[in-house]
Structures are given as structure tokens and as C-alpha cells.
Amino acid sequence: MAKVKLIDVARFAGVSKSTASQFLNGRFDYMSKETQERIRAAVAELDYVPNPIARNLKATKTKTIGVVVRDITGFYSSRVIRGVDDYCKANSYNALIYNTDFDPETEAKSIEALYQLRVDGIIIASSGNNTQLISEYINKGMPIVHFQIENDGSEQNIILSDYKKAAFDATEYLINLGHKRICFVTQDFKNVNSRIERYQGYADALSKHDIPLDDNLVQRWDRETGFQTAPKDIIKSHAPTAFFTQHLPITVELLRGLNRANISVPDDVSLLGFDEVPMAEFFKVPITVVKQEPYSIGVEASKLLLNNIAKETNISHKILIPCSLEIRESCKAI
């Protein structure tokens, strides 16, 4: 079936294309009731659906933003998206969601596609590999707000959890339980400020309590290859009494490794994770976590972006959202 165009509606109603367009855009103050009814009947009879992209190409503002996330199914990302969507709806904006699966090339294509769709601004959890491309679009007048991760610090507008304080508080909680050998499990944090901040919070808490920093207790995890050293081997070689994991997938994989090795939490080793664990209340041993506020981050990112769009300026802001410590049963005093 051929797609019905605006000119088809106009011909069917016996009016000009301009008159039909004015009706569809709600501008019919000086249009007779009879003309309005003819156009309305033509739209219904032909089942005409306006093309929003074509409208956007002519509009100064499209009332649409883009959101680029690394994993749309993730516990954190899904709640950020909900915060963005709720705030946008309340302010008569629509959000287009793009998923990158952690691929910088897909991320670049997503940004380019959103620009071509004439969105008014973009919220992005960036890989850090498209800094120049993002700067180019900002220089073209595209407001962009980052969230979740700060890479090299060049991000002009960004909403983050207060990672340093959260890591400090979590480490100090374990220290107050008597733990001095706390294994910090993280992704590679070279040139990634958000991961450096977590490490610094951990190191500062040890320093405050005069506990030497043992490099053997700073372990790496990679999304593709897993742990640098298997959890059971870390325990055997370096005798940590607690693990402090820095990302939900690390927590999940660590739990699997401990279960396979018949290492009990918290009887054999305590565990504290960064990021909420879905359905933690149903675990045999619910996990103590640093709880972020992704919904609030989504709301604040949207608020900052829409403010920049309205003012047509890109004043630099870095906003930190506090975290909280959700104490459960996976950590015990020693």
C-alpha cells in the first residue's frame, strides 16, 4: 500500500496543502468549521499519519532528546532511562534510546544518527573513545550531558555518583568490622577518572586507619577475560578477609567463583559490592552494597540538558549524587 502524503489529504478534502498543514499543526483559529471537518474526515478516511521526522527538519526545536547507553538491559542503565523518560514526559519531551553494547563504533554511529534526526540534545554514557567526535557536535551547538562514567575529565557537563566518598565509606565500614586485608576488585582504571576516584576512596580509608596499601590486594577484572587471578587463588596467596567489588558484573562473577570453590560468604570471606544486586532479598546471603541512585541521575541529567537547550548555552557543570551503604548479611566482624 502506497504511503499517504499530506498532499493526498489536501486533495481529498478539497483544500490547499498549506491549509491541511495548518490544521494538522493546530493552527485553525481562522478556519471554518466546515473546512476543519473536511480535513478531519480526510485524515480518518485515508488513515494519514504525520511524518515526525519531516516535521523536525522544519522545526527550530524538535522536543526530542537522544539517550546513548552501554547496556540497555543493565540494572543501572534501565533505571537511569526511567528517570530520563519520566522527566522528559513531564516537560513535553520525547527520548530516543540507543544501545551501544560497549562498542565505540556503535556509539559513534548512534551519536551521528541522533544528530541527523535533529534531536535537541543528547545524554550519553560514553566509552571515552569518541571524545573528538562529541566535541565536534558540541561545537556545532548540540548540548550533550554525560553520566555514569567520567573518562579523561574533558566532559563539559556530567552527572555522576560521588564515587570517591562512597568507596571511602564502604572501605571504612569494612575496617570498622575489623578487616585490614580488603581486596579491591576493579576494571583497569588507567585514564578513567571515575574508577580512579573509587580507588582513591579505598586508598584514603586505608591511610586514615594506618593500614598499608598492598598492591597484591588490588585485583583486575576484564569484561572479556574475567579475573586477573581466580578468587580462590587470591584467597590462597594473599589472604584477604573481605572483597570490595567495583561493578555489578564483577560481584556476580566473584560470587560464582566463590561458590565453585565452596568458599562461604561471609563465614570464609566477607563481600561488599558497588551497585545494587537485583532481587538481593531473595539471596541466601543478601549482599551488602554501595547503592547508587540511577533514577535520580537520569532526572538530573535530563534537567541539566533541558536547561541547556532552553538557554541555548553549554555552561559546564559537574554534579555529584550521593550514594548510600545498604548493609546486609555478606559482611561480618572479625
DSSP string, 117-160: TT-SEEEE---SS-HHHHHHHHHTT--EEEES---SS--SEEEE
Residue 62 and residue 147 in one domain: yes
Residue 67 and residue 97 in one domain: yes
CATH of the domain at 67: 3.40.50.2300
Of 9, 5, 3, residue with least CA distance to 43: 9
Contact 150, 160 (CB under 8 A): yes
Rounded to whole angstroms, how far apart are CA atoms 127 and 105? 10
Of 109, 128, 273, residue with least CA distance to 198: 273
Contact 138, 295 (CB under 8 A): no
Rounded to whole angstroms, how far apart are CA atoms 248 and 75? 9
pLDDT at 56: 54
Q: How far is CA 256 from the centre of its chain?
A: 26
117 CB-side CA count, 13 A: 22
Residue 170 and residue 311 in one domain: no
Interstrand relation of 121-124 and 157-161 (parallel, antiparallel or unpaired): unpaired
Residue 112 and residue 96 in one domain: yes
**Does the residue 187 lie in any domain?**
yes
pLDDT at 49: 77
**The C-alpha cell that represents 255 in the structure block:** 560470587
Range of the domain at 46: 6-50
pLDDT at 187: 94
pLDDT at 57: 53
pLDDT at 51: 66
- Across the chain, which has 334 residues, the per-10-residue mean pLDDT values are 82 92 80 90 86 58 94 94 97 96 95 92 96 93 94 92 98 98 94 95 98 96 94 96 96 95 96 89 88 97 94 80 97 96
Residue 121 and residue 40 in one domain: no
| Residue 92 falls in which region: left (phi positive, over 0), alpha (psi -120 to 50) or beta | left
Give this prediction's pTM.
0.82
Question: What single DSSP character describes residue 287?
Answer: P
**Does the residue 154 lie in any domain?**
yes
Q: How many CB atoms lie within 10 A of CB 159?
A: 27
Residue 287 and residue 302 in one domain: no
Rounded to whole angstroms, how far apart are CA atoms 65 and 93? 7
Q: Which amino acid would we find at residue 133? A: L
Residue 63 and residue 154 in one domain: yes
Residue 288 and residue 211 in one domain: yes
Maximum CA pair distance of the chain? 86
Contact 149, 129 (CB under 8 A): no
